[in-house]
Amino acid sequence: MLFGGKGSGKSTFTNRLLYHHPPNAIKHFARIAIVDLLECPETQEKIDQEVWSQLIQELDKDSILSANREKLLSLFHDRFDVAKRQDLAGLKEDSETYNVRLNALVANWKADREYCAVKLADHAKRERKGVIIVLDNTDQFSPSNQDYCFTLAHHVSTQLDCLVVISMREERFYFSKLHGTLDAFHNSGFHLTSPKPETVFARRLVYLLRLLDDPAKTRRVAPEIDDEQINNVKTILRVFLREFRNPKSHLNTFIKACAHGNMRLALDLFREFVLSGYTRVDEMIAEPRWTLQIHQVLRPMMVPYRLFYDERKSSIPNVFQIRSEVNGSHFTGLRVLQILTADMNALNPDYIALSRIRAHFADRFNMLDDVEKTLDVFLRGGLVESNNRIDEYDEAIDSIKITAYGRYIYEVLAHNFSYLDLVSLDCGVHDQGVGDSLANFGNLDRDLFLSHQKRERISARIDKVREFLNYLAREENIEREVYGLDTQDRILMIDLRKKYDIDETRVLRSANRNYGQNANLGFDELNGIGEADE
């Protein structure tokens, strides 16, 4: 059993171990068969067919099944011996009847995929090669089909007398080990931890730079690229490499926190960042010492190909979203994160009983449905994690704790100007006037963006965020009165507004550098903004 978190590199590990850097025992004395079920339909019949079909294809390295009949009869010698005593008895070997009947028997034997796999494994053993089979990407299936994959792997191991490695998600492994199929079998489990994202990105970028240092290799991939374009790409890659080697870099910090060990998600986020229309590649080329600011990372990640943010199409959740249609609050997400961060150990946060969180929101706010839906979003997004590694809301979860990503959103993004600017239009609001006002700001934002009026757009966006924050402050005051919250309950908007004001000052100060002392942004005191994508 090879188990690890989502995107931890289980497939990469097995391919590297078995193909790219195999030990001598595997390199010289093993026959490898990796069965990839990534695109297999999720039915047990299809899984069974796909496993045996790929097994035969991977084990038949000598193309015996497509060879002449003599080689096939040598492979199927046990059934052939029986057939000579039974089905073919009394027939002359050079007769037409004998050959027709034998051909039909061989066709039936070839159609028996399980039998073919067993005989191909025996053939490999006669060549002094042990068989190693990997069932990969079984963790995409439902729990019942994951259990079926394990029982199928056990059957394959027994029939072929070989080693079978099967990959599973952590949460499914532990659950099945205690309550499911795995508790009935003896097996060896090996945990695979996720690599550090900064290490993965740094190595890939160094590899690319090494390729670009050899124009001949580069032009094999992109024949049309010229020397100037190669130098421009190298400049951009060096900017990214410097960011990932800096532990305080906004790009490095954001991807590391957001991916939460999922390297597939980290790579997807970086690809969206690079390909986004908001990433100012031209400015990076002009200034090789370019340092990315948080807004230059956040907007490309949250809305890589669109003007407006939509939580359903983004990897970054909206913590101010009301999720219950019956009774919900803009502050449920923040309150959950607040509970999980209270008196926590920064290096190893404590698990908090899920029953305690549910009881708190049910008794004090009557918002059990809202907090359950919020926890589902947080678990799926990696802001919190459960003690049994289940990554969606389920009453089987005993306790949860905040992750580095949850802390990052709570301590950094929740009061960040760019984040608030994007999520404000995605929130359902209780006040019709505020909803109309935010919609008007959204239309104005679009018009100013299309007409390239940067200063006016910045002014409108800051007005929009202030309108949103004023509305949130009023909503919190209403909730404090309706639910009778006492002084022990922290007033979220006071802390959030203080931190936002500091960020807005940074925004204004940067605008002053970009647009000059006479930039007319409509404020009493101009300090600037720094949105390279604006």
State yes or no: pLDDT of 526 exceeds 60: no
State yes or no: pLDDT of 534 exceeds 60: no
H or E stretch at 284: helix 281-286
Cα 121 from Cα 116, distance rounded (Å): 9
H or E stretch at 237: helix 227-245
In this structure, what token pair is assigned to residue 135?
């069932």
Residue appearing with tokens 């047990």: 44
Give the contacts of 426 (CB within 8 A, at least 6 positions apart): 308, 309, 310, 311, 318, 321
H or E stretch at 384: strand 384-386
Cα 140 from Cα 120, distance rounded (Å): 29
Q: Which of 1-15, 326-340, 352-366, 373-387 has the lowest mean pLDDT?
A: 1-15
Q: Which of 30-34, 143-147, 350-354, 364-368 has the lowest mean pLDDT?
A: 143-147
Phi/psi of residue 7, each to 5°?
Answer: 70, 20
State yes or no: pLDDT of 530 exceeds 50: no
* Residues in a beta bridge with 130: 30
pLDDT at 424: 93
pLDDT at 519: 43
Average pLDDT rounded to a whole number, residues 83-88: 92
Instruction: For residue 418, count other CB atoms closer than 10 A to its CB.
Output: 23
Cα 115 from Cα 365, distance rounded (Å): 63
Average pLDDT rounded to a whole number, residues 476-487: 84
State yes or no: pLDDT of 395 exceeds 60: yes
Give the contacts of 349 (CB within 8 A, at least 6 positions apart): 340, 341, 401, 402
Residue type, 62: D
C-beta of residue 318 within 8 angstroms of C-beta of residue 274: no
pLDDT at 175: 57
Rounded mean pLDDT of the chain? 86
Q: Name the burial class of residue 225, with classes exposed (0-12), middle (13-18) and buried (19+) by CB atoms within 10 angstroms of its CB.
A: middle
Between vectors from CA 280 to CA 275 and to CA 284, what angle results, nearest 5°?
110
Share of the chain above pLDDT 90, in %: 49
Instruction: For residue 204, count other CB atoms closer than 10 A to its CB.
Output: 16
In this structure, what token pair is assigned to residue 413?
């993004």
Cα 458 from Cα 529, distance rounded (Å): 8
pLDDT at 257: 86
Residue type, 9: G
pTM of the model: 0.74
Collapsed DSSP state (helix, strand, coil) of residue 451: coil
Cα 132 from Cα 31, distance rounded (Å): 6
Task: Name the band, by pLDDT with cuts 50, 70 and 90, for residue 215.
Answer: confident
Average pLDDT rounded to a whole number, residues 113-124: 94
pLDDT at 202: 95
Cα 145 from Cα 37, distance rounded (Å): 12
* Residues in a beta bridge with 191: 3
pLDDT in tens, 157-202: 999 999 999 887 766 565 555 555 555 556 677 888 888 899 999 9
pLDDT at 71: 92
Comparing 143 with 371, the larger pLDDT belongs to 371
Q: Which of 275-279, 306-310, 511-515 has the lowest mean pLDDT?
A: 511-515
pLDDT at 10: 85
Task: Name the band, by pLDDT with cuts 50, 70 and 90, for residue 289.
Answer: confident
CA dihedral 269, 273, 277, 281 (to 10 degrees): -170
Would you say the C-alpha torsion 83, 89, 93, 96 has a positive or negative sign? Answer: negative
Average pLDDT rounded to a whole number, residues 328-350: 84
Collapsed DSSP state (helix, strand, coil) of residue 72: helix
Helix axes 197-212, 227-245, angle to 10 degrees: 160
pLDDT at 176: 56
Cα 372 from Cα 361, distance rounded (Å): 10
- C-alpha to C-alpha distances, 348 to 269, 401, 520, nearest whole angstrom: 26, 9, 48
pLDDT at 51: 94
State yes or no: pLDDT of 523 exceeds 50: no
pLDDT in tens, 352-371: 999 999 999 999 899 999 99
C-beta of residue 314 within 8 angstroms of C-beta of residue 364: no
